[in-house]
Amino acid sequence: MKKLSLILLPLPAILLLVLWQEFVAGVPSRLFLFGSPLQIFQVAREELPHAAIWHDMGMTLSALLAGLGLGTLAGTTGGLVLALHPLIRKISRPYLVFFGSIQIFTIAPLLIIWFGIGWEAKVAMAALATCFVALQQASSGAAAAEKLYLGYAHSLKASGGRVLWHIIFPGALRWVLAGVKMNIGFAILGVLIGEFISAESGLGHYIFKASGIYDVPRVWFGVLLLCLMALALTTLADAIAHRFSPRSKA
């Protein structure tokens, strides 16, 4: 069954590419508007041997990882604080809802003013885009673990440090790792907004520059690289989450 699924896995992608190629073949207007898989493959052959595209990928990936890491760290720390202090959690709830509802693109111009047009602005946007999801995940995970095991720990007279390290933190960790998978898309969005608004490098800048000259195959090539980047990071997050899941330790 597993071998059959591996064989069938690429079939939808192959079918889509074949239909796409057939749709635009022999129709110049469609080819101009939508590009074609063969054109994208040709762009890949032209771009990949050159250092420029690797530099753009590196700039986007580094900003993405730094922003995702900072946002997850800040959100997880805040979530644990809220989980350990119910009064603070209750007071801060309306503020978290208020600030969490602000879309990153609405304050992107302010972040450009504060951090400039370089790498730091893209990191700030990615971190801000991911922070509140990580906070919610950490807080919810810690609260769930608290309900399950905290009474038992208190009956054993466990210290606050032991409760935090052996109950609260492991319970929150699985939720945080699940939140990281959701946050990959938000982090990419934050970085791309920074690269679209004002940047001199990165895949967002590459896509924006290609779209400005109506180079559709290069736009699709940039999008493809972003999708592969997101797929690789999601696969890595899945592997890490599986490593820390209770079943993997059983």
The answer to whether residue 36 sits within a structural domain is no
Per-position DSSP letters for 35-89, written without gaps between them: --HHHHHHHHHHHTTSHHHHHHHHHHHHHHHHHHHHHHHHHHHHHHHHHH-HHHH
Q: How confident is the model at residue 155 (pLDDT cuts 50, 70, 90)?
A: low
The answer to whether residue 114 sits within a structural domain is yes
The answer to whether residue 67 sits within a structural domain is yes
Question: pLDDT higher for 109 or 144?
Answer: 109
Give whole-number Cα distances, 203 to 18, 146, 147, 199, 206, in Å.
26, 43, 44, 10, 5
pLDDT, one tens digit per residue, over 60-91 is 999 999 999 999 899 888 887 877 777 877 88
The answer to whether residue 113 sits within a structural domain is yes
The answer to whether residue 47 sits within a structural domain is no
pLDDT, one tens digit per residue, over 185-204 is 889 988 888 888 777 788 98
Domain that holds residue 227: 62-243
Q: How confident is the model at residue 144 (pLDDT cuts 50, 70, 90)?
A: low
pLDDT, one tens digit per residue, over 21-71 is 999 988 899 999 999 999 999 999 999 999 999 999 999 999 999 999 999
The answer to whether residue 73 sits within a structural domain is yes
Q: How many domains does the chain have?
A: 1
Q: Are 180 and 72 in contact (CB under 8 A)?
A: yes
The answer to whether residue 32 sits within a structural domain is no
The answer to whether residue 222 sits within a structural domain is yes
CATH number, residue 121? 1.10.3720.10
Has residue 13 got a pLDDT over 60?
yes
Question: pLDDT higher for 104 or 199?
Answer: 104
pLDDT, one tens digit per residue, over 200-225 is 788 988 999 999 899 999 999 999 99
Question: pLDDT higher for 16 or 102?
Answer: 16
Query: Over the chain, what is the mean pLDDT?
Result: 81
